[in-house]
């Protein structure tokens, strides 16, 4: 009779351990989500870096274009030179401001993406530790199952 009570207690312990396995499955789902989010963050970071390179190219092209314009204006009358130089300087300042805004925005997005990656890496580490604990709990559970099976075989077998 005491063996049956013990077997019932062992079964209840097994139930609790199976619930721990469910927690492991949930943790694995969370890790998968974090890995996907990390991939998306890295993809976004690559796109932002491409935007930065494009902005640098546009700035170079704008500078070259403005330099040619300045050379052309030097051949005209002094009054026209002053007018066109002022227009060119305004255009260049606008391009610089726009480029600075693009660069600032890209760098902010890059920092945000890096922050997300850092958080995801931290969360992945925590989940890895939880997975390790769950694996250890599973090993203990398997040992207890073996004990319960041995007891059940002993009870059933004689």
Contact present, 22 and 30 (Cβ < 8 Å): no
* C-alpha span between 76 and 88 (Å, rounded): 15
* C-alpha span between 141 and 12 (Å, rounded): 12
- C-alpha torsion sign, points 100, 94, 75, 65: positive
* C-alpha span between 120 and 114 (Å, rounded): 10
Of the pLDDT bands very low, low, confident and very high (cuts 50, 70, 90), residue 5 is confident
The tens digit of pLDDT for each residue in 66-115 reads 777 667 656 666 777 678 788 899 998 989 999 998 999 899 999 999 98
Closest Cα partner for 33 from 106, 120, 145, 102? 120
pTM for the full model?
0.34
Tokens describing residue 8: 């019932």
Confirm or reject CATH 1.10.390 for domain 2-157, answering yes or no: no
Domain boundaries, the chain: 2-157
The tens digit of pLDDT for each residue in 117-158 reads 999 898 889 889 999 988 998 999 999 998 989 888 888 875
Query: What confidence score (pLDDT) does residue 158 get?
Result: 56
């Amino acid at each position: 009779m005491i063996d049956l009570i013990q077997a019932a207690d062992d079964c209840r312990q097994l139930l609790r351990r199976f619930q721990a396995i469910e927690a492991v499955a949930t943790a694995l789902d969370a890790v998968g989500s974090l890995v996907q989010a990390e991939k998306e963050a890295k993809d976004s970071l690559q796109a932002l870096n491409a935007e930065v390179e494009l902005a640098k190219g546009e700035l170079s092209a704008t500078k070259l274009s403005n330099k040619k314009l300045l050379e052309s204006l030097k051949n005209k009358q002094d009054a026209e030179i002053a007018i066109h130089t002022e227009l060119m300087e305004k255009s260049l300042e606008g391009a610089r401001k726009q480029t600075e805004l693009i660069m600032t925005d890209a760098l902010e997005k890059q920092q945000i993406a890096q922050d997300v990656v850092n958080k995801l890496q931290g969360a992945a580490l925590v989940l890895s530790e939880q997975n390790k604990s769950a694996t250890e709990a599973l090993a203990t559970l398997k040992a207890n199952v073996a004990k319960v099976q041995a007891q059940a075989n002993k009870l059933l077998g004689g």
